[in-house]
Amino acid sequence: MSDTALPLATKLKDAVPAAPLMPLSVRDLTLRFGETTVLDGLNFDLGSAGCTMIMGPNGSGKSLLLKLLHGLMAPTSGHIDWGGQDPQAVTKRQALVFQKPVLLRRSVAANIDFVLKTRGKDRGRRDALLDHVGLAHKADQPARLLSGGEAQRLALARALATDPEVLFLDEPTASLDPASVLAIETIVRDARNRGMRICFVTHDMGQARRMADDVLFLHGGRIAEHTAARDFFCEPQSASAQNYMDGRLVV
C-alpha cells in the first residue's frame, strides 16, 4: 500500500497496552443448541504472534468459534482465557470483520470518524487509515456506493481504527476478485507484521497457504488438527484435512 502506512503503523504500535491478551488458552470449549452439539470440547493454545488460519468444511463450527473467542456468545461449558485478562474487558481490545461488511449509511470518512469518536481515538488518524486501505480518494462518497472489495477495505479500516490486539476475520474475501483479495491480504499481513494477532477463517486454500503461520482445522465441531502451516500443507495428519484439501470432504 502507500507510504503513509508508516505513521499509522507507529500509532498502532504505540497503542498496545502493557498487559497483552495473548497467549490464548482454550479448554474444553463446548457449545450446544438444545440437543445439538456444534462445538465439542475444543482444547488449543495460540501464541502471542502470527496468523492462525481456521479451516474446515461448511458447518464445522468456524464462525461460532470466532464469536465465542470474541465474546459475542457464551459457551455452554469450558474456558477461554485471554492472557489472564478480565473477560469483560477483552472484546473491546479485539475486532471482527465479517464476510459481509458492516458499514454505516454515511460517507466513507464518516464511517471512520464514528469509530474513532466512539472509541475515544485520535480523530486525526482518519486520513491515514483511509490511505492505508487505498480509499482516500473515496472519502466523501457514500459508503453504500462502494464496490464489494472497497466496502470490505473500509470495514477493515474501521476494525484497525480501534487498535485491536486481536483481529478476527470471517471469510472476508469470499466474494472478491483476485486483486481485491490480495489488497485485503496485504493489509492483514501488514497488521500481523506489526504484532496484531490474526485469526482468519477461510475456505481458500491459496489464501491459507499465503497467510498462515498455523492452521486450526475443524471437522464436525471438533479440532481435527492444529499444526504449523508448513506441516499442514506438506502433510496433513488428519484424514479429514487430507480429504478436505483433496476436495473429497463434504459435510
Residues lying near ligand ATP in the complex (CB under 6 A) are found at 33, 38, 56, 58-64
CA dihedral 146, 101, 162, 45 (to 10 degrees): -140
Quote the least distance from Cβ 28 to ligand ATP, whole Å: 18
Quote the least distance from Cβ 230 to ligand ATP, whole Å: 24
Q: Tally Cβ neighbours within 10 Å of residue 103.
A: 18
The three three-digit cell numbers of residue 237, written as one number:
495428519
Quote the least distance from Cβ 225 to ligand ATP, whole Å: 15
Q: Tally Cβ neighbours within 10 Å of residue 19.
A: 8
Nearest to ligand ATP of 23, 148 (CB atom): 148
Nearest to ligand ATP of 56, 101 (CB atom): 56
Quote the least distance from Cβ 62 to ligand ATP, whole Å: 4
Q: Are 28 and 77 in contact (CB under 8 A)?
A: yes
Nearest to ligand ATP of 146, 218 (CB atom): 218
Q: Are 50 and 194 in contact (CB under 8 A)?
A: no
Instruction: Please provide residue 9's backbone torsions phi and psi, each rounded to the nearest 5 degrees.
Output: -60, -45
Quote the least distance from Cβ 196 to ligand ATP, whole Å: 22
Listed residue (184, 166, 251, 214) closest to 52, CA to CA: 214
Nearest to ligand ATP of 190, 204 (CB atom): 204
Nearest to ligand ATP of 131, 244 (CB atom): 244
